[in-house]
């Protein structure tokens, strides 16, 4: 699993990109979450409580609690039932 909690700053055209630094944005992973192998979680995403992220998924936005997501980008493919 690859958790990417930040990004490079590239807003100025006058300053070389390598000198602009980076920002720490963060990722929130709530309780009872299953993240399968080879997933990528991008900055500023929240993975809701009880969710499942399928193998190889790329999470680019928030995931609702108790969702099952998969794909590139990750989309809801199911919902956990009780």
Lowest mean pLDDT among 3-17, 38-52, 61-75: 3-17
**pLDDT score of 82 more than 80:** no
pLDDT band at residue 77 using 50, 70 and 90 as cut-offs: very high
Q: Where are the beta strands (DSSP E) in 10-74?
A: 22-24, 28-29, 34-35, 40-41, 46-47, 52-53, 58-59, 67-70
- Asked if residues 51 and 36 have their Cβ atoms less than 8 Å apart, the reply is no
What is the percent of the chain where pLDDT is above 90? 84
What is the percent of the chain where pLDDT is above 70? 99
Phi first, then psi, for residue 7 (nearest 5°) are -155, 165
| pTM (predicted TM-score) | 0.86
């Amino acid at each position: 699993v690859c958790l990417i909690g930040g990004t490079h700053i590239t807003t100025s055209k006058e300053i070389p990109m390598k000198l602009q630094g980076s920002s720490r944005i963060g990722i929130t992973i709530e309780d009872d979450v299953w993240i399968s192998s080879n997933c990528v979680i991008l900055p500023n995403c929240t993975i809701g409580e009880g969710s499942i992220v399928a193998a190889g998924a790329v999470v680019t936005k928030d995931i609702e609690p108790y969702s099952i997501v998969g794909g590139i980008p990750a989309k809801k493919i199911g919902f956990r039932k009780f």
